[in-house]
């Protein structure tokens, strides 16, 4: 039902969260509360005395922090005074949550703003604003933010840092009367961008503490921030980061922000993940079929595309149970290394005289799906396309940015460039009946200029349109978002893609950290996780097969290894692991993520519990040498405390040694006991792991 309210504040509640909004006007609505569940709204009199945070705060509201909307008309009119144009429209969802739409205006400034707030039944709150220029002349947007209040108890900020091969490592700071800002100006989401930018009670962890998280669902420049002033409620939020002159609205023009996502949990970071994972799984676009075990050939062959060798990889893959085969970089015109070819999306006749058909047919005859690597948003200066259209670079005339990875960015916001790339991708997908593309994006957008002005905003929208149009033409086509590994993982790109490559780092030990923090936002079935060679290609570290398979099990699993070089024992172990992955997918890819606040920082203890809590899979990974030599106490939360569980070692992965003998736990314990007392596990050598399987009896 939709109706208008002019009386008491509105309460929307879903999951563990509530938002209370004073809509009584005439000014913009105030958010009186965002956090734990409340059962009733304050009275009108009470709400007048509350601080709250104006939905789009400005100096006219007494807010001296970052404004919700900032912009100007040729330098004039920098301060808006928005008032509601009509009573807000409120929809209450019987399943929980609902929505509020607010129309506001500043007639003197010639600006209208529509604000939309949607609280999903899972408890995820989405906010976006649309700004319209109703005045004369151009209005330039400097920034439009989604900001919500957080209480004084939110005294600590969790952010992430990172770089190529070491994405999204956590860092914490105190949140006093200060501004904590994470800005990204790289033109893509970034290796360091937080999956969720979190404020919480001091010392919060995965399973304890009250936390408030925000995520900007945008694949270009963006900002996350938390700000606390001495005379107002603190706010948490973010939005697109607009550079000078990037969004200029002619009369009648509009700018719509990306969705900004907010989640609350009274029980730590796992509660935030429960909300975001459940919401993502409820989307119509979320992958519904089993996530196929994937072999990507990049680390097996690199640019050496020899048909016989690639067929041999497919044959070996079929023997051990691989379900998807992906031909990576090197198949197109002139692409013998990474210095040439990007933009020339034609199969290279020198390497592939019969096209890709001999390999594609061979792979499919083995019962395996076929996928292909592309990087459509980039161009090599050494390419036919660059020679024919040197003006198609995303750059100012006469000011080409420095090459990164021997490449430039193709200005796909230019209609001719967009049409060319769409035609080439459409032709390749059509000819080979592709069902999967690994879509890469291997450089930052530096000095990005489109049509004479800053170009990241238009480039990002064009990339979205390109993916959307290609998938519209080819229903069922799945696309993986890869950007130098994990530099484009966000809910903007995931609104139209089916998988993310969390990192180019395939070392099993490093991936333990990376996947843990990517998983704060993204459920495991979306995160590509591959078993690589014993000697890792990125860092040269040697790790055992057990650690590598355990790490890859808790994601969308695959292989990044020349398996034609494997010993019979390695192939048998891989085949058993693949069988385990297929057997466990119903739990791994639908269950709740559990990350234990384990007291030993040298180890990770984590798992997935099925929605009905009948089944669970937990991993223990020893990352480094422990300070303790005593047996490990394993506390396993998230189970049904009233149920009895049989606990066994996962049979398809070899048992670790404990005091010279294979460890074979076979115990019956209640969920309450497993969460409280736990059970005793073996002392592992560094870089080793094992998996426990639990079934309700």
Is residue 138, in this structure, part of any structural domain at all?
yes
Is residue 288, in this structure, part of any structural domain at all?
no
Residue 435 has what pLDDT?
97
Rounded average pLDDT over 571-600 = 98
Cα 47 from Cα 49, distance rounded (Å): 5
3-state secondary structure string, 345-365? CCECCCCCCCCCHHHHHHHHH
**Are residues 512 and 423 part of one domain?**
yes
Residue 3 has what pLDDT?
37
Number of domains composing the chain: 3
Residue 632 has what pLDDT?
87
Q: What CATH number should be reported for the domain holding residue 604?
A: 2.60.40.1180
Cα 448 from Cα 401, distance rounded (Å): 8
b/e map 183-205, b = 16+ CB within 10 Å:
ebebbbbbbbbbbbbbbbbeebb
Residue 42 has what pLDDT?
77
**Are residues 659 and 537 part of one domain?**
no
Is residue 682, in this structure, part of any structural domain at all?
yes
**Are residues 532 and 632 part of one domain?**
no
For the entire predicted model, the pTM comes to 0.97
Catalytic residues: 440, 504
Query: Do strands 436-439 and 369-374 pair parallel, antiparallel, or not at all (unpaired)?
Result: parallel
Residue 663 has what pLDDT?
83
- Boundary residue ending a domain (532, 559, 590): 590
* Strand ranges in 86-184 using DSSP code E only, listed in sequence order: 89-92, 98-106, 111-119, 125-133, 139-144, 146-150, 156-163, 166-174, 179-184
Is residue 275, in this structure, part of any structural domain at all?
yes
**% of the chain beyond a pLDDT of 70:** 98
**Are residues 675 and 616 part of one domain?**
yes
- Boundary residue ending a domain (248, 281, 314): 281
**Are residues 472 and 433 part of one domain?**
yes
Q: What CATH number should be reported for the domain holding residue 469?
A: 3.20.20.70
Residue 5 has what pLDDT?
40
Cα 248 from Cα 560, distance rounded (Å): 46
Rounded average pLDDT over 463-483 = 98
Cα 395 from Cα 297, distance rounded (Å): 34
Residue 44 has what pLDDT?
66
**Are residues 241 and 136 part of one domain?**
yes
**Are residues 346 and 328 part of one domain?**
yes
**pLDDT confidence of 2, banded at 50, 70, 90?**
very low
Is residue 311, in this structure, part of any structural domain at all?
yes
Q: Which residue positions form the known binding site for substrate?
A: 164, 328-329, 405, 438-442, 482, 504
Flag whether pLDDT at 166 surpasses 50: yes
**Are residues 597 and 505 part of one domain?**
no
What is the distance, to the nearest Å, from the Cα of residue 436 to the centroid of all Cα atoms in its chain?
19
Angle (CA) 189-190-194 rounded to 5° is 85
pLDDT tens readout for residues 200-232: 999 999 999 999 999 999 999 999 999 999 999
Residue 41 has what pLDDT?
77
Cα 453 from Cα 536, distance rounded (Å): 43
pLDDT tens readout for residues 346-374: 999 999 999 999 999 999 999 999 999 99
Residue 47 has what pLDDT?
65
Distances (CA, A) of 283 to 87, 130, 155: 30, 23, 33
Task: Give the chain's mean pLDDT.
Answer: 95
Return phi, psi of residue 420, to 5°. -65, -50
**Are residues 582 and 662 part of one domain?**
no
**Are residues 219 and 309 part of one domain?**
no
Q: What CATH number should be reported for the domain holding residue 127?
A: 2.70.98.60
Is residue 289, in this structure, part of any structural domain at all?
no
Q: Which residue positions form the known binding site?
A: 164, 328-329, 405, 438-442, 482, 504
Rounded average pLDDT over 681-689 = 93
Residue with the larger pLDDT of the pair 50 and 534: 534
Which pair of structure tokens corresponds to residue 17? 């969260």
- Boundary residue ending a domain (232, 251, 281): 281
pLDDT tens readout for residues 619-669: 999 999 999 988 889 999 999 999 999 999 999 999 998 777 778 888 999
Residue with the larger pLDDT of the pair 629 and 431: 431
Residue from 386, 327, 328 nearest 359 by CA: 327
Is residue 598, in this structure, part of any structural domain at all?
yes
Return phi, psi of residue 311, to 5°. -65, -40
Flag whether pLDDT at 313 surpasses 80: yes
**Are residues 143 and 35 part of one domain?**
yes
In terms of residue numbers, what domain contains 666?
593-696
**Are residues 583 and 646 part of one domain?**
no
Is residue 242, in this structure, part of any structural domain at all?
yes
Residues sharing a CB contact under 8 Å with residue 65, sequence separation 6 or more, in sequence order? 57, 179, 227, 229, 232, 235
What is the distance, to the nearest Å, from the Cα of residue 127 to the centroid of all Cα atoms in its chain?
18
Residue 662 has what pLDDT?
79
């Amino acid at each position: 039902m939709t109706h208008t309210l002019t009386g008491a504040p509105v309460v929307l509640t879903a999951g563990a969260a509530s938002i209370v909004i004073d809509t009584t006007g005439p000014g913009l609505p105030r958010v009186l509360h965002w956090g734990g569940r409340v059962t009733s709204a304050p009275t009108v009199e009470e709400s007048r005395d509350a601080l709250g945070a104006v939905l789009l705060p400005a100096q006219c509201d007494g807010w001296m922090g970052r404004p919700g909307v900032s912009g100007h008309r040729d330098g004039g009119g920098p301060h808006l005074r928005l008032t509601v144009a009509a009573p807000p429209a409120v929809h209450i969802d019987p399943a929980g949550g609902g929505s509020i739409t607010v129309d506001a205006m500043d007639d003197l400034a010639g600006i209208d703003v529509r604000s939309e707030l949607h609280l999903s039944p899972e408890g995820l709150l989405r906010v976006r604003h649309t700004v319209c220029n109703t005045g004369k002349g151009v209005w330039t947007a400097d920034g439009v933010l989604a900001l919500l209040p957080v209480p004084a108890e939110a005294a600590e900020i969790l952010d992430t840092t990172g770089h190529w091969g070491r994405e999204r490592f956590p860092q914490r700071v105190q949140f006093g009367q200060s501004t904590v800002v994470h800005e990204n100006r790289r033109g893509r989401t970034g290796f360091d961008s937080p999956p969720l930018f979190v404020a919480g009670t001091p010392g919060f962890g995965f399973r304890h503490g009250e936390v408030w998280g925000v995520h900007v669902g945008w694949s270009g420049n963006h900002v996350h921030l938390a700000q606390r002033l001495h005379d107002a409620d603190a706010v948490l939020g973010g939005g697109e980061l607009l550079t000078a002159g990037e969004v200029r609205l002619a009369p009648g023009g509009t700018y719509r922000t990306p969705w900004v996502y907010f989640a609350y949990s009274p029980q730590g970071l796992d509660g935030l993940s429960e909300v975001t994972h459940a919401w993502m799984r409820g989307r119509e676009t979320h992958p519904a079929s089993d996530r196929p075990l994937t072999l990507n050939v990049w680390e097996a062959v690199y640019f050496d595309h020899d048909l016989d060798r690639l067929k041999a990889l497919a044959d070996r893959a079929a023997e051990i149970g691989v379900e998807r085969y992906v031909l990576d970089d090197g198949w197109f015109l002139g692409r013998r290394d990474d210095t040439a070819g990007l933009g020339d999306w034609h199969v290279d006749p020198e390497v592939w005289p019969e096209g890709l058909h001999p390999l594609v047919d061979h792979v499919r005859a083995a019962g395996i799906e076929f996928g292909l690597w592309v990087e459509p948003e980039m161009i090599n200066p050494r390419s036919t396309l660059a020679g024919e259209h040197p003006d198609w670079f995303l750059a100012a005339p006469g000011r080409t940015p420095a090459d990164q990875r021997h490449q430039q960015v193709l200005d796909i916001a230019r209609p001719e460039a967009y049409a060319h790339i769409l035609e080439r991708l459409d032709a390749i997908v059509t000819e080979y009946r592709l069902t999967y593309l690994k879509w890469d994006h291997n450089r930052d957008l530096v000095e990005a200029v489109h049509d004479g002005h800053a170009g990241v905003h238009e480039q990002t929208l064009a990339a979205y349109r390109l993916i959307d149009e290609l998938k519209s033409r080819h229903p069922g086509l799945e696309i993986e978002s890869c950007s130098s590994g994990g530099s484009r993982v966000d809910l903007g790109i995931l609104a139209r893609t089916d998988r993310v490559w969390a990192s180019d780092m395939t070392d099993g030990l490093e991936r333990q950290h990376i996947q843990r923090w990517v998983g704060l936002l993204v459920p495991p079935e979306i995160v590509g996780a591959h078993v690589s060679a014993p000697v890792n290609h990125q860092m040269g570290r040697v790790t055992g097969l057990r650690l590598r398979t355990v790490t890859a099990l808790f994601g969308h699993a695959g292989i990044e290894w020349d398996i034609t070089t494997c010993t019979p024992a390695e192939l048998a172990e891989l085949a058993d692991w693949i069988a385990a992955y297929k057997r466990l997918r119903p739990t791994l890819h639908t269950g709740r993520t559990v990350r234990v606040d384990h007291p030993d920082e040298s180890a990770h203890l984590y798992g997935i519990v099925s929605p009905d809590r009948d089944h669970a899979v937990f991993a223990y990974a020893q990352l480094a040498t422990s300070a303790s030599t005593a047996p490990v106490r394993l506390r396993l939360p998230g189970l049904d405390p009233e149920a009895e569980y049989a606990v066994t070692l996962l049979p398809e992965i070899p048992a670790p040694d404990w005091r010279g003998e294979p460890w074979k736990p076979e115990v019956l314990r209640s969920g309450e006991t497993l969460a409280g007392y736990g059970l005793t596990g073996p002392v592992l050598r560094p870089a080793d792991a094992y998996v426990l399987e639990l079934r309700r009896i």
